[in-house]
């Protein structure tokens, strides 16, 4: 039994959910609360980036570009009077559709060529956002974006999103939705096909997986959720500018992903919460903070290429391997067990 | 005839790797392709499985032209293959490797995966069933949850065959399935190939181990410098003067 933890996994998840629900009563102040809300949005973006980069193995660096497309979509549409609840899915679908158009040529390239091509696209998006003044307002951006349209309820009145607490629950709901979709995808044959492409594209092709179509699917889903988080961001923050689509954001998410754990579901979330919070607490170090993160990143990449969760997972799996009885009795290959054990 | 290869030619720039090669495989047979290094054996496999497009010639599967299909489309036609350097998904576990081999038999896509529809669940159950069946067939049931990197050479080669078997192929192409193995391990792989033949799978195999192939094959095609120099049952081929000169030399005494 060795290292079996003292609780069942299900209880562990419920505990985390309960904690997440009580966060508004625990946060010390508005400023910190704002950081938590941003972390939820960035966790969504990092989770979706993880699908294409971590699970499918295609290093897309255009993620902030799609985040920006979602943000501008919601910003411009809601300012034109369209309901947030219509503008949000439309913007996310727009990001997904542009992702399809960009993916068709770029996903034919591999490795660093794909990374460079997508990085270029990300830069182009922020340049367009800065230069198409009549639509985007240029470098001043779009300001005065309304908060999400209140949801009317028959008896209690309506649910508005002016308080941070309501905004937090909104982003939490979307984060859980993203996590749910990613979980379903990862623990399925579909998820295994993504990992097959990451691991050995030629073999995946030879066993009958249409690798190009599968990569496109992964890219489109990832960009849908990037657009979704961008759309919510625009409405909650109230103003956007070309920096909303800047590649700097992509690299922030990349750091969250690498430190938290590539190709794990919890890694991106842990990274997206832990690093901004750590950054805040290390304010006294000023610019030297970046130095610390730089060194940390190098150390992690050398000693644990799969980040914090990679370490935890390998310990967990070793304890499981000693106790194979628990796993006996043919359950579905990609369900229950972790299909992504080590890179 | 299950598979027909007609006048297949492949040129790389000036080099003719495969030159006007024709052969046929009947259902349930084991066909061996032999020849010295650089004779074009693996190229023939790459042409059949769609990894390379031929310069000219035709490949017919049950009279259907599959010459210009992509590798994943060839796999969907019922032709599975293994690679010379054992190709596996080495970041994943044994059962994940096998499950991936089942993907082409499923019809579920994004939405059915998200909503776990009835079709998705049926696919999952059938896949689980097939994984268990293949695990038993290739004798790796005890290694179900092991990472591929912890398997021995011979186990990895059996797993590679297992992945190919997951899709219930009509034909399986084995590229040196016993390459680099000691005699005992070679025997266990040979036994596995015989077992496959018994279940009705047609096998095309590239091998260098003469004694093994003479016992195993129903027919042998001999290639030399990209050209077919002999084609027939083992007894006949091993006595063929051209074959002895080109390849067997003094090594094999029939």
Which residues, numbered 171 to 230 in chain B, qualify as contacts with chain A under a Cβ-Cβ cut-off of 8 Å? none
Mean pLDDT value of segment B187-208:
94
Q: Which residues of B touch A200 (CB under 8 A)?
A: 87-90
Contact A192 B113 (CB under 8 A): no
* A343, part of any domain: no
Q: Strands B56-61 and B64-65, how do they pair?
A: antiparallel
Beta-strand (E) ranges in A197-250? none
Least confident of A9-23, A221-235, A325-339, B90-104: A325-339
Model confidence band, residue A321 (pLDDT cutoffs 50, 70, 90)? low
Superfamily of structural domain B1-78+169-254 = P-loop containing nucleotide triphosphate hydrolases (3.40.50.300)
Sequence-distant (≥ 6) Cβ neighbours of residue B242 within 8 angstroms: B224, B229, B230
At A28, is the pLDDT very low, low, confident or very high (cuts 50, 70, 90)?
Answer: confident
Is residue B254 very low, low, confident or very high in pLDDT (cuts 50, 70, 90)? very low
- Please check whether residue A211 touches B, CB under 8 A: yes
pLDDT of residue A171: 96
pLDDT one-digit tens code per residue, B202-216:
999 999 888 889 999
Looking at chain A, the whole-number percentage of residues with pLDDT higher than 70 is 90
Whose structure tokens read 């489309």?
Answer: B73
Query: Is A270 a domain residue?
Result: yes
A124-140 pLDDT, tens digit per residue, is 999 999 999 999 999 99
> CA A343 to CA A53: how far, in whole Å?
13
Instruction: With CA atoms as reference, report the closest residue to A23 among A227, A228, A175, A236.
Output: A175
How close does chain B come to A336, measured CA to CA in Å? 12
**How many beta-carbon pairs under 8 angstroms link A with B?**
141
pLDDT at position A3 over 80: no
Query: Measuring CA to CA, which residue among B232, B195, B227, B179 is closest to residue B31?
Result: B232
Residue A190 contacts B, CB cutoff 8 Å: yes
Question: Is A260 exposed, middle or buried (CB count within 10 Å of its CB: 0-12, 13-18, 19+)?
Answer: buried
Task: Please state the domain extents for chain B.
Answer: 1-78+169-254, 88-168
Q: With pLDDT > 90 as the criterion, what percentage of chain B qualifies?
A: 80
Residue A280 has pLDDT above 90, yes or no: no
The predicted pLDDT at position B223 comes to: 92
Contact A308, A260 (CB under 8 A): yes
Asked if A184 reaches chain B (Cβ–Cβ under 8 Å), the answer is: yes
Query: What is the structure's pLDDT at B248?
Result: 58
- The segment with the largest mean pLDDT, out of A290-294, B212-216, B250-254, is B212-216
In the three-class reduction of DSSP (H, G, I as helix; E, B as strand; rest coil), residue B59 is classed as strand
Share of chain A above pLDDT 90, in %: 66
Domain containing residue A80: 9-17+29-327
What is the spatial order of strands in the sheet that B15-25 belongs to?
B15-25, B3-12, B56-61, B64-65
Beta-carbon separation of B89 and A208 below 8 A:
no
Q: Tell me if residue A198 falls in helix, strand or coil.
A: helix
B128: closest chain A residue by CA: A332
So what's the pLDDT on residue A42? 97
Predicted confidence (pLDDT) per residue in A163-189, tens digit: 999 999 999 999 999 999 999 999 999
Inter-chain touch A335–B106, beta carbons under 8 Å: no
Q: Taking CB atoms and an 8 Å cutoff, what residues of chain A touch B75?
A: 206-208
pLDDT at B251: 54
Q: In angstroms, how far is the first alpha carbon of chain A from the final one?
A: 26
Q: Which residue has the higher pLDDT, A290 or A218?
A: A218
Residue A233: name the closest of A41, A50, A90 by CA: A41
Rounded CA-CA distance A236/A161 in Å is 8
The residue of chain B with its CA nearest to that of A334 is B96
CB contact under 8 A, A341 and B127: no
Confidence of residue A326 (pLDDT cuts 50, 70, 90): very low
Q: What is the pairing mode between strands B171-175 and B56-61?
A: unpaired
A234-272 pLDDT tens trace: 999 999 999 999 999 999 999 999 999 999 999 999 999
Q: Indicate whether A333 pLDDT > 60.
A: no
Span B105-109, average pLDDT: 86
Average pLDDT over residues A287-316: 83
Q: B81 CB near a chain A CB, below 8 Å?
A: yes
Chain B residues 141-160 with CB within 8 Å of chain A: 144-147, 149
Q: How confident is the model at residue A117, as a pLDDT? A: 96
- Please tell me if residue A206 touches chain B, with a CB cutoff of 8 Å: yes
Terminal Cα distance for chain B, rounded? 29
Number of domains in chain A: 1
B244 vs A: CB within 8 A: no
Q: Are A146 and A235 in contact (CB under 8 A)?
A: yes
Q: What's the pLDDT score for residue B252? A: 52
Measured at the alpha carbon of residue A258, what is the angle toward residues A252 and A261, in degrees to the nearest 5? 130
Residue A102: inside a domain: yes
CB contact under 8 A, B93 and A341: yes
pLDDT at residue number A322: 58
* pLDDT band per the 50, 70, 90 thresholds, residue A338: very low
Q: Measured between CB atoms, does A108 come within 8 Å of chain B?
A: no
Q: How does pLDDT run across B128-155, given as a tens digit for each residue?
A: 999 999 999 999 999 999 999 999 999 9
Give strand ranges (E) for chain B: 3-12, 15-25, 30-34, 56-61, 64-65, 79-81, 171-175, 202-206, 219-224, 227-232
Option in B81, B110, B127 nearest A206 (CB)? B81
Q: pLDDT-based confidence at A341, cuts 50/70/90?
A: very low
Instruction: Write the DSSP symbol of residue A284.
Output: G
Q: Residue A331 — pLDDT band, cuts 50, 70, 90?
A: very low
Q: CB–CB of B114 and A333 under 8 A?
A: no
Q: Which of B67, B49, B45 is nearest to B58 (CA)?
A: B67
Does the pLDDT at position A323 exceed 70?
no
What letters, b where the CB count within 10 A reaches 16 and e where it falls short, cover B183-203? eebbeebbebbeebbeeebbb
Averaged confidence pLDDT in chain B:
92
Q: Is the pLDDT of residue B173 over 80?
A: yes
Average pLDDT of every residue of chain A:
87
User: Cα(B44)–Cα(B35) distance, rounded to whole angstroms?
Assistant: 12
Question: In the block, which residue shows the tokens 């799978």?
Answer: B201
SS3 (DSSP) at B79: strand
B99 → chain A, closest CA residue: A333
| Res A2: pLDDT | 39
Residue A4 in domain: no
Contact check, Cβ <8 Å, A333/B103: no
Residue A5 confidence class, pLDDT cut points 50, 70, 90: very low
- Report the relative pairing of strands A151-153 and A157-159 from DSSP bridges: antiparallel
Least confident piece of the model among A48-52, A83-87, A153-157, B234-238: A153-157
Residue B108 contacts A where some CB pair is shorter than 8 Å: yes
């Amino acid at each position: 039994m060795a290292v079996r933890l003292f609780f069942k996994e299900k209880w562990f998840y419920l505990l985390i959910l309960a904690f997440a629900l009580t966060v508004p009563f625990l946060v010390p102040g508005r400023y910190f609360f704002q950081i938590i809300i941003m972390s939820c949005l960035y966790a969504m973006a990092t989770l979706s980036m993880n699908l294409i980069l971590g699970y499918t193995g295609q290093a897309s660096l255009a993620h902030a570009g799609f985040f920006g497309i979602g943000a501008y979509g919601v910003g411009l549409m809601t300012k034109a009077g369209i309901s947030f609840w219509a503008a949000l899915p439309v913007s996310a679908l727009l990001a997904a559709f542009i992702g399809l158009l960009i993916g068709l040529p770029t996903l034919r390239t591999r490795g660093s060529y794909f990374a460079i091509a997508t990085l270029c696209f990300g830069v182009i998006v922020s340049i367009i956002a800065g230069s198409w003044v009549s639509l985007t307002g240029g470098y001043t951006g779009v300001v005065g974006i309304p908060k999400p349209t209140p949801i009317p309820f028959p008896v209690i009145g309506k649910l508005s999103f002016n308080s941070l607490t309501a905004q937090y629950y909104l982003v939490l709901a979307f984060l859980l939705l993203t996590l749910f979709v990613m979980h379903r995808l990862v623990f399925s044959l579909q998820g295994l096909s993504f990992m097959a492409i990451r691991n050995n594209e030629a073999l995946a092709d030879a066993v009958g997986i249409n690798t190009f179509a599968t990569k496109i699917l992964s890219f489109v889903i990832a960009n849908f959720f990037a657009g979704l988080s961008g759309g919510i961001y625009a409405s909650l923050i109230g103003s956007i500018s070309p920096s909303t689509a800047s590649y700097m954001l992509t690299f922030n998410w990349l750091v969250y992903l690498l430190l938290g754990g590539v190709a794990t579901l919890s890694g991106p979330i842990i990274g997206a919460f832990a690093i901004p919070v750590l950054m805040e607490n290390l304010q006294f170090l000023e610019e030297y903070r970046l130095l610390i993160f730089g060194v940390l990143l190098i150390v992690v990449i050398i000693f644990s290429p799969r980040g914090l969760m990679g370490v935890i997972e390998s310990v967990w799996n070793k304890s499981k391997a000693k106790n194979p009885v628990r796993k006996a009795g043919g359950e579905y290959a990609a369900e229950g067990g972790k299909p992504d054990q080590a890179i | 005839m299950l598979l027909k290869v007609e006048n297949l030619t492949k040129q790389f720039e000036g080099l003719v790797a495969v030159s006007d090669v024709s052969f046929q495989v009947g259902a349930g047979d084991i066909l061996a392709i032999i020849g010295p290094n650089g004779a074009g054996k693996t190229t023939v496999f790459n042409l059949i499985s769609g990894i390379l497009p031929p310069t000219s010639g035709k490949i017919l599967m049950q009279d259907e032209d599959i010459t210009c299909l992509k590798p994943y489309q060839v796999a969907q036609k019922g032709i599975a293959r293994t690679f010379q350097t054992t190709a596996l998904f080495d970041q994943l576990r044994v059962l994940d490797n096998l499950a991936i081999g089942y993907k082409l038999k499923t019809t579920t896509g994004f939405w059915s995966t998200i909503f776990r529809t009835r079709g998705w669940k049926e696919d999952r159950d059938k896949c689980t069933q097939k994984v268990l069946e293949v695990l038993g067939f290739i004798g790796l049931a005890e290694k179900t949850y092991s990472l591929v990197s912890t398997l021995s050479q011979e186990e990895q080669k059996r797993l590679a065959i297992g992945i190919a078997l997951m899709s219930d192929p009509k034909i399986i192409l084995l590229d040196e399935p016993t390459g680099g193995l000691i005699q005992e391990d070679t025997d266990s792989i040979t036994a596995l190939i015989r077992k496959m033949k018994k279940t009705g799978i047609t096998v095309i195999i590239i091998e260098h181990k003469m004694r093994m192939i003479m016992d195993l094959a129903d027919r042998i095609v001999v290639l030399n410098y990209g050209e077919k120099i002999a084609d027939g049952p083992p007894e006949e081929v091993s006595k063929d003067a051209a074959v002895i000169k080109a390849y067997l030399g003094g090594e094999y005494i029939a």
